[in-house]
């Protein structure tokens, strides 16, 4: 997130609503389309950036996966098997499912660790899977949250342990900015959204090297809160080590799904808003253009 002394301009546009209410879950984009899967669902929806049309893709074999693009193909990472969705049988999976010719196939080898609702980021050379749940994200037992960060080399098709988070996280968000991997947020109630960052490097971290996470200022407000929490409508950018509010969405919501086609074009889908004192999931779609 580069520093800037210029004020950003944000233009908002309300778009056609999504096919269903959705919150949390996972989102990714390949430039032409954005893909969304709501939390607790095997459904996958595709949004075309230019035409703003929605379509539903074949249901994923796993629920609460992390969506990512690998080799220009949509891939669902981890989650739990759709046929094991009855409490308490929600056991995490280490599998990756790739959508090919309208069918989900297991193209890539399984992870070393099973993850439910991990954060997933990719580059042309590798994939990084961060945190998640080991049994079910609907449990508030810290022993069932994961701090593992593992890396998958696309060329060698091999998985490696990369490092561990400072604390276990479920449903975090992550992005690569410059030469750093940034992880923020959590599913847990009351957890402030402190941002952690490490060099992403692209190579497994040798066991002899102690890799330290660099804590950065916490994000203003608690953006990711599960129960009994509140939501905010502000958008912040990290500038010179401090969070600066650059715009507001128009109304508060928490757990919205976000995909960005470029640093300047972002679409925000769903989330939970407070209506008459009750938290309700919505299907609104807003697109914003950010310019200097």
Question: How does pLDDT run across 137-178, given as a tens digit for each residue?
Answer: 455 565 677 888 899 999 999 999 888 888 777 778 888 877
Residue 30 lies in a domain: yes
Please give the backbone phi and psi of residue 235, each rounded to the nearest 5 degrees, phi first.
-120, 135
Q: How far apart are alpha carbons 236 and 288 in whole angstroms? A: 13
Q: Supply the CATH number for residue 88's domain.
A: 2.120.10.80
Name the pLDDT band for 231 (thresholds 50, 70, 90). low
pLDDT above 90 covers what percent of the chain? 27
What is residue 109's predicted lDDT score, i.e. its pLDDT?
Answer: 95
Mean pLDDT score of the chain: 78
What is residue 30's predicted lDDT score, i.e. its pLDDT?
Answer: 93
The arithmetic mean of pLDDT across residues 225-242, rounded, is 61
End-to-end Cα spacing for the chain: 14
What is residue 237's predicted lDDT score, i.e. its pLDDT?
Answer: 77
Domain span at 178: 26-229
Residue 206 has pLDDT above 70, yes or no: no
Residue 235 lies in a domain: no
What is residue 92's predicted lDDT score, i.e. its pLDDT?
Answer: 76
Residue 11 lies in a domain: no
Answer with the residue of higher pLDDT: 126 or 82.
Answer: 126
Please give the backbone phi and psi of residue 254, each rounded to the nearest 5 degrees, phi first.
-125, 155
Model-level pTM?
0.84
Please give the backbone phi and psi of residue 83, each rounded to the nearest 5 degrees, phi first.
-85, 0
Answer with the residue of higher pLDDT: 139 or 91.
Answer: 91
pLDDT tens digits along 38-87? 988 889 999 999 999 999 999 999 888 999 999 999 999 998 876 654 54
The arithmetic mean of pLDDT across residues 188-198, rounded, is 55
Residue 220 has pLDDT above 80, yes or no: no
Measured CA distances, 180 to 116, 174, 183, 217 (Å): 24, 10, 10, 16
Answer with the residue of higher pLDDT: 245 or 99.
Answer: 99
Residue 249 lies in a domain: no
Residue 171 lies in a domain: yes
Highest average pLDDT, of 5-19, 93-107, 207-221, 263-277, comes from: 93-107
- Domain count within the chain: 1
Residue 263 lies in a domain: no
Residue 6 has pLDDT above 80, yes or no: no
Q: How far apart are alpha carbons 115 and 65 in whole angstroms? A: 8
Q: How far apart are alpha carbons 123 and 74 in whole angstroms? A: 14
Residue 16 lies in a domain: no
Residue 220 lies in a domain: yes
Give yes or no for a contact between 188 and 163, defined as CB atoms under 8 angstroms apart.
no
Give yes or no for a contact between 233 and 253, defined as CB atoms under 8 angstroms apart.
yes
């Amino acid at each position: 997130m580069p520093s800037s002394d210029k004020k950003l301009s944000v233009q908002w546009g309300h778009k056609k609503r999504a096919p269903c209410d959705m919150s949390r879950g996972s989102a990714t984009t390949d430039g032409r389309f954005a893909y969304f899967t709501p939390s607790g669902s095997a459904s996958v929806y595709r949004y075309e950036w230019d035409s703003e049309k929605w379509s539903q893709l074949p249901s994923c074999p796993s629920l609460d996966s992390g969506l990512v693009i690998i080799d220009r193909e949509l891939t669902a990472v981890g989650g739990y098997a759709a046929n094991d969705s009855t409490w308490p049988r929600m056991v995490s999976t280490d599998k990756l499912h790739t959508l090919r010719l309208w069918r989900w196939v297991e193209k890539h080898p399984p992870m070393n660790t099973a993850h439910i609702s991990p954060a997933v980021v990719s580059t042309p050379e590798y994939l990084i899977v961060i945190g998640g749940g080991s049994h079910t994200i609907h449990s508030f037992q810290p022993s069932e949250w994961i701090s593992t960060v593992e890396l998958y080399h696309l060329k060698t098709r091999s998985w490696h342990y990369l490092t561990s988070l400072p604390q276990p996280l479920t449903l975090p968000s992550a992005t690569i900015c410059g030469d750093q991997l940034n992880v923020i947020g959590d599913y847990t109630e009351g957890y402030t959204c402190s941002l952690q960052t490490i060099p992403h490097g692209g190579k497994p971290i040798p066991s002899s090297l102690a890799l330290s996470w660099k804590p950065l200022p916490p994000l203003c407000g608690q953006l990711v809160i599960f129960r009994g929490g509140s939501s905010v409508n502000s958008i912040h950018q990290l500038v010179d080590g401090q969070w600066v509010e650059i715009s507001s969405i128009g109304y508060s919501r928490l757990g919205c799904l976000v995909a960005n086609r470029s640093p300047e074009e972002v679409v925000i889908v769903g989330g939970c808003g407070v209506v008459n004192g009750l938290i309700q999931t919505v299907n609104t779609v807003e697109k914003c253009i950010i310019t200097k």
